Every structure is written in C-alpha cells, then in structure tokens.
Amino acid sequence: MKELLLLVPVLLLCSCGSKESKNNNSNAELGDSSVPIKINVSVTDTELVTSDLYEIDSIVALETIETSLIGDIDKLEIYDGKIFVLDKYAANKLAIFSSDGSYIGNIGRQGGGPGEYDKIRDFCIDRENSRIIILDNHYNLLFFDSEGNYLERHKLVAPANSIEVISNGVVALFTDLQSSSYPFGDYKLKIYNYKDQEVISTKFLADQEQIVPYSDENFSKLNSAVLLNYSTTDTIYSVSAEEVKPKYVINYEGDLKRPTDFFENLPPKSKRSQFIKESGYAGPPKGFMQTDKHISFQYSIKGFRYQTVFDKAANKVLHSNTTIANDYFYGSGKGPLTIIAATESQFILLVEPQYVKMFREQNKSKNKETDYHPILKPVLEGINGDENSMLLFVKMK
C-alpha cells in the first residue's frame, strides 16, 4: 500500500417560464428590481507567486490503495466530517475519504442494478435530509445516506448535466443544450421537487446547438446560497426555489469587453473555437468559487487562462492575471494551482503528484534542485508520482 501521511494538522473542515432572449448577456435580463454586484475586471501585470496569495492551513493527502484510486477530481464536497470526491471519467466513481484523507469507500458502483449507475454526470448533497444524490447518464437520481447505503432511485422528467440542492427536497437542474425530446428540454434551468417528482419552474431557453464549449461545473454553493454560471453569460445568478436573480455581473473592461451580440454572430460551428480564441475578448467566467470573504474565477484570452480574485468587503478585484508562478514546488513551470472547491473560510487547491515527480526529474536532469514550500517539502520530496491527489486548504493572505 502506498500511502501519504498527513503532515500538517487538519483544521475543522467546513462545508465547503416565458420565452426569453437567447442573448443572456443583455442588461434587460437583469430586470429593474435587480441590483447585482458588479465585478470590474481588467488584466493586471503584477508578477505573483502562489505563496504571495495563499497561506496554507492544512494538507490532506488522499490515501492511495487499489480500491481508492482516482484520476482527475471533477468535483469535491465536504460533509459530515468526510470528503466526497467525484472522478467522472477515469474511474467513474464517487469516493469517500475521512477528514485526514483515509479512504472509507465509494458511493454506489457501476452496473445496472439497484444503487448502480452507468456513468455519473454529477452529484450533490442534501444536507438537511442527510442524502447524497447522484445524477447518472440516464437522468436517474440515485439516493444514498452519508455512509453510502443505497436508499432509492427516481427517474428525472427533465434532462440535466449539473445538479445542486437549493432547499428541502428541491434541486436545481441545468444543461446548456436543448433536448426537445424530453419534457422541459427547451430550458437550461429547471427547479425540481424530487419528493413530488415535479418541475416547479424553468428559466433560460436552451441552445439548439452547442454555441461554445460548455462547462458542466455550473453550480457553486456557500452554506445554503446556490450560484449558477454558464458558458454564454457574464452574469452569476442566485438560485432558490422561489426565484432566480442576478447576484454578480462580471464587467470586462477595455479590450477584454465583447460586443453585446458576440454569441449571436459566431461563424459556422467548425470555426467557432478558433474564432473565439483569436478574437482577443475575454471568455465567460468559469470555475466560480467563493468563501465568506473572497470570490475566485477564471476566464480565457487567446487560449491563456487568467485567474481572478475578488475581495467582497473591499468590493474590488485583487488580481486578474496569468503570470502566477507556482513556487510551492518551484521550477515546475506549472501555472497557478487549481482551486477545485471552497469551504466557508478556505479555498481548496489541488496538487497532482505525477506533475511534481515529472518536474522534479526534469530539474534533476539539468542538475538543478527543486525548491519546495517549507511546509510541503517533507511530503513532496518523497512522493512516487502515482499517488492520489493532495488537497491544500488555504486562506487568502
């Protein structure tokens, strides 16, 4: 068994209608009564390193044994003292780890029987009812308790790629693409009461074809507040069972700002990606995460990823640039470490051992030493490269 030890004490883990215009960036969509918070974004030229931004609170190395192996972490949730990790593609499973990274087991398994799924699209946690909900590839909802015991299965009456709990027994379902063969398939967002198996409301007309590469990471949650962002809008929406309203608007400034009709005047599908890349305009925000004090998201310009951090109290962007060197294992050449989740007070960064090993060996071939962050050095120096990922719980400085 290959196992990484937890070298830093782990802190208490917090949980982390009518026809509409297809131009979801229009100001008219905000409504007269809405007062969304505007986040003004322009590229900053400040050269930063990762340790300039974050203070490491704790390190959790996910245990590596044959049954716990995962590839990419597509989603991570913390609940009931456990870490729930979704790998949709490589392992196609939802794994449970304890707060110190010890492997506990999996939620469900691949198959065709009770409590089994073909492929996982997404999952969420109904904290009020202590249920883990898996959305599978056939639009089934599979319900489990927090220990992984199977409870029941519901067949959805509406298509979805993403899911999030918004109140007791009510979830938000989202998909970018139109699915006219399904009820409510003409809408991106469906508010669904899973106890009554009923769609309560709908919002946003779906795209008949894929306009731009879409994201399947549409929801983020802080405590009970659910936010929605998607691929053709710069607006971040607050979603509840009663209403959907703008919460934040990303206002790209200067040369980053797109024409209001940009997504309505794209070239044929085969040329779209290149056209968008060469336009020089900022792409819609992705990877929207928030703590009680900060918001983090990313956007792309000409294929380069830019990371942005917004201070809620100061109501200003702290930085928005791509020149953030990863000095946690210096010399890696890797960009800023990816924020994969957030708790009330912390962002969670992902360290992938295979990359640490690769860059360490590259440095060794050049007779160069790899400099590690002092807290990380005891762990990173000894890894093999085939371990599960490591999670860094950090606070903004």
What proportions of the chain, in percent to the nearest 5, are helix, strand and coil?
A: 10, 40, 45
**pLDDT value, residue 270:** 84
* Confidence band, pLDDT 50/70/90 cuts, at residue 330: low
pLDDT band at 102 (very low <50, low <70, confident <90, very high): very high
* Distance, CA of 40 to CA of 315 (rounded, Å): 9
For residue 297, pLDDT beyond 70: yes
Q: How far apart are CA 98 and CA 235, in angstroms?
A: 36
Q: 3-class SS at 293?
A: coil
Are 324 and 48 in contact, with CB atoms under 8 Å apart? yes
Whether residue 247 is predicted with pLDDT greater than 70 in this model: the reply is yes
Res 335: pLDDT: 54
SS3 annotation, 194-245: CCCCEEEEEEEECECCCCCCCCCCCEEEECCEEEECCCCCCEEEEECCCCEE
Q: Report the predicted TM-score, pTM, of the whole model to 2 decimal places.
A: 0.87
pLDDT of residue 41: 95
List, for residues 196-208, the tens digit of each pLDDT value. 989 999 999 987 7
Would you state the pLDDT for residue 54?
93
Gap between the Cα atoms of 139 and 112, Å rounded: 14
pLDDT at res. 338: 81
> Helix/strand/coil (H, E, C) string of 125-189?
EECCCCEEEEEECCCEEEEEECCCCEEEEEECCCCCCEEEEEECCEEEEECCECCCCCCCCCEEE
Span 78-105, average pLDDT: 96
- How confident is the model at residue 265, as a pLDDT? 85
Q: Terminus-to-terminus CA distance in the chain, angstroms?
A: 37
pLDDT of residue 253 exceeding 60, the answer is: yes
With 80 as the cut, is the pLDDT of residue 24 above it? no
Residue 376 has pLDDT above 80, yes or no: yes
The continuous run of DSSP H or E covering 354 comes out as helix 353-365
Residue 366 has a CB neighbour count (10 Å cut-off) of 8
Q: In the chain, what's the furthest Cα-to-Cα distance?
A: 65
* pLDDT (tens digit per residue) in 207-228: 777 777 677 789 999 988 999 9
Give pLDDT, residue 211.
74
What pLDDT score does 6 carry? Answer: 37
3-state secondary structure string across 18-74: CCCCCCCCCHHHHCCCCCCEEEEECCCCCCEEHHHHEEEEEEEECCECHHHCCCCCC
H helix and E strand count, the chain: 4, 31
Q: Indicate if the pLDDT at residue 241 is higher than 90.
A: yes
Amino acid at 68: S
Counting residues of the chain whose pLDDT is more than 70, the rounded percentage is: 89
Distance CA 307, CA 278 (A): 20
Q: Which of 8-22, 156-170, 184-198, 337-351 has the lowest mean pLDDT?
A: 8-22
